[in-house]
Every structure is written in structure tokens, then in C-alpha cells.
Amino acid sequence: MSDWGAEDQRILRSLRAVDEPTEQDRGRVAARLEAELSISLGLGATLVGLATTSTSVAGATAANVATTAASVASAPSTGGTLGLLGLAKWSVAVVAVGAAGWVASTWSERSVDTPDPSSVAPSAPRTTSAPPLRPTPRDARTKDAPPELEQPALTPPTLTSPAPTPESETTASRRTATRAPTSAPSKTFGLEDELALIGDAQKALAKNDATRALTLLERHAHDYPRGTLQLERSGLLAIASCQSGRTTEGRARATRFLSAHANSPLAARIRKSCGLAE
């Protein structure tokens, strides 16, 4: 019978590097969290703060900053708290690399080349209907025991997940990391502006000011036709149209959105706003 040995351990540990996220993965999820939670993880603010100077950061310098910061950001999680400084450095790295066209090409590709995710993409994990899972008894758990998901609490994100990412797209994004810089779109560093517009539209909707929401969303469509948050825009446009009384237009938008993104976290809100059945 085989016993656990050094070779087995080495083989298993060969997987350590396989599942490591890229800086793009980290930045993408951070941006989504900032949008959903209306918080700053340092990314948005840093992007804005450095956007004006980033163009002066040339390739080699950018790469150096990125390398330094990446090493900070990838410090072993058991090595202590990374701290805001580390996050800030990492953010600088993202911007710096972005200046070299890395982030630029990836983000623009994500927007431009996004295939219809409905055919392949599973949905966001949040759901409005699934009962809480109880894989193990937790009645006696302490307060710090991992909390179970309480579905109702998961549903009200003001700004919910962007497009589910199709497999090929994700892979493509990763591959892009090693790709030579292409043309950097002028709106690369507009994520903060995108967030502000979509966030304001969301707030307007919450105040039943659908007209203002429509204005903001149309401005977003004009300024960022292929923006990172275009999926949010599409969903919110459907809601805003229906809320503002433009029911026919709103329902058409809702139907289009739901046919492509039936499992979007926005789907339930859209159906409700536009009076569509499940």
C-alpha cells in the first residue's frame, strides 16, 4: 500500500501555481465589489488619482512598479496583513501596467469581444430562490462559524454583477496578459467615471427618479458604449424605462436583457419593474 511521501507532496504542490489569480482577476473582481458595495478598495481612487499622470509612466518603469507591487500583493496570505499600503501599491501596479497597454487591451477586449454569455455562462452565485444550504449541522455553531447564506440578504445589491464571463473570454483575457500592447483606448481609465454614472443612476432609481436615471444611463451609453459596466447599464435601462412609464420600450429592453442574461442578479428586479412573469 502506498504511503504519503515526498514525491506525492511535490506532485500535489505542483498545483500551487496553477490556480493563482492574475492581477487582472484581482482588479476585475475588486472593481465589481466597489460597484456593488459602494466602497473603495483603493482601486478606483488610485485609478483616478493616477490617470492624469499614468501616460507619463513608460513601459520599463511601469513594469518595475508592477513587479514590485505584484510581489507585495502576492505575499503569502499567512504572512500577516497586507494592509492598505500593499493594496495601494498593487493599485499603482495596475495603473502602471495599464499605461503600458496591458490593462487597456484586456479591459477593452473584455468589452468588445464579449460573446453572448447566455449560451455558456452560468450565472452569478447569488440567487433569490434557492433555500440556504446546510451541508453540515450548524445549530450549535459559534458566532464566528462561517455564516451560511441567507438568500434574501444576498439579493439587494444596488449594482449587481456584471456579465457572467464566458470561458473563452476569461481564457482570452489571461492570454492577453502576455500580449504586446495594442492601442490604448482613451477611456481605459474611466472606470471610476463609469462607476459614478451607474451608481448615480442606481441611486436615482432608488428614489424613483427614473427620468434622471435614464439621463445618466444614456450618458453612460454615449460615453462608454463598450464600457466595463455595459451589462449593468442594459439592465438598469430596462428598469428605468419601465419605471418612467416607457413601458413598451422598457419591456423590449427587458426581454432582450433577460433572453441573454436570464440568471443575472438584475433579472428579478427587471421582471418586477416591467411586470414580466418569471
Partner 1 sequence: MVTPGDCLPSTAELLPREPVPEFAALYAQYFPFVWRMARRLGVQANALDDVCQEVFVVVHRRLDDFEGRSSLKSWIFGILHNVVLVHRRKLRRKSPETLDPESSFEPDLLPDSGYDPHERASWAEEARLAQSALAELDEDKRTVLVLVELEGMTAPEVAEALGVNVNTTSARLRAARKQFAAWVTRYRARERWRTP
Which of 213, 258, 212 shows the shortest CA–CA distance to 235?
Answer: 258
Q: Rg of the chain's alpha carbons, rounded to an integer?
A: 21
Please check whether residue 129 is in contact with residue 151, taking contact to mean a CB–CB distance below 8 angstroms: yes
Q: Is 38 in the site for partner 1 (CB under 8 A)?
A: no
By the 8 A CB rule, do 165 and 118 touch? no
| Subset of residues 102 to 121 that bind partner 1, contact rule: CB under 8 A | 117, 120-121
SS3 47: helix
Q: Among 18, 60, 180, 277, which residue sits at the site for partner 1 (rule: CB under 8 A)?
A: 18
Distance (Å, rounded) from C-alpha 275 to C-alpha 107?
A: 34
Of the pair 27, 101, the CB lying nearest partner 1 is at 27
x-marked contacts with partner 1 along 125-144 as a string, rule CB under 8 A: xxx--x--x-xxxxxxxxxx
Decide if residue 32 touches partner 1 (CB under 8 A): yes
Q: What is the DSSP string of 222-238?
A: HH-TT-TTHHHHHHHHH
76 vs 180 by CB, closer to partner 1: 76
Write down the residue that cell numbers 488619482 correspond to. Answer: 49
In the region spanning residues 223 to 262, those forming contacts with partner 1, defined by CB under 8 A, are none
**Span of 53-61, 77-85, 205-213, 268-276 interacting with partner 1 by CB under 8 A:** 77-85
In angstroms, what is the minimal distance from the CB of 11 to partner 1? Answer: 5
d(C-alpha 191, C-alpha 46), whole Å = 11
- Kindly state whether residue 42 participates in binding partner 1, applying the rule CB under 8 A: yes
User: According to the binding rule CB under 8 A, does residue 26 interact with partner 1?
Assistant: yes
Q: Does 64 participate in binding partner 1 (rule CB under 8 A)?
A: no
Say whether residue 147 binds partner 1 (CB under 8 A). yes
Cell triple for 196: 459614478
HSE, CB side, 13 Å, CA atoms: give it for residue 11. 5
CB 240 to partner 1: min, Å = 24
Residues in region 150-209 near partner 1 by CB under 8 A: 153-154, 157, 161-162, 164-167, 169-171, 174-175, 178
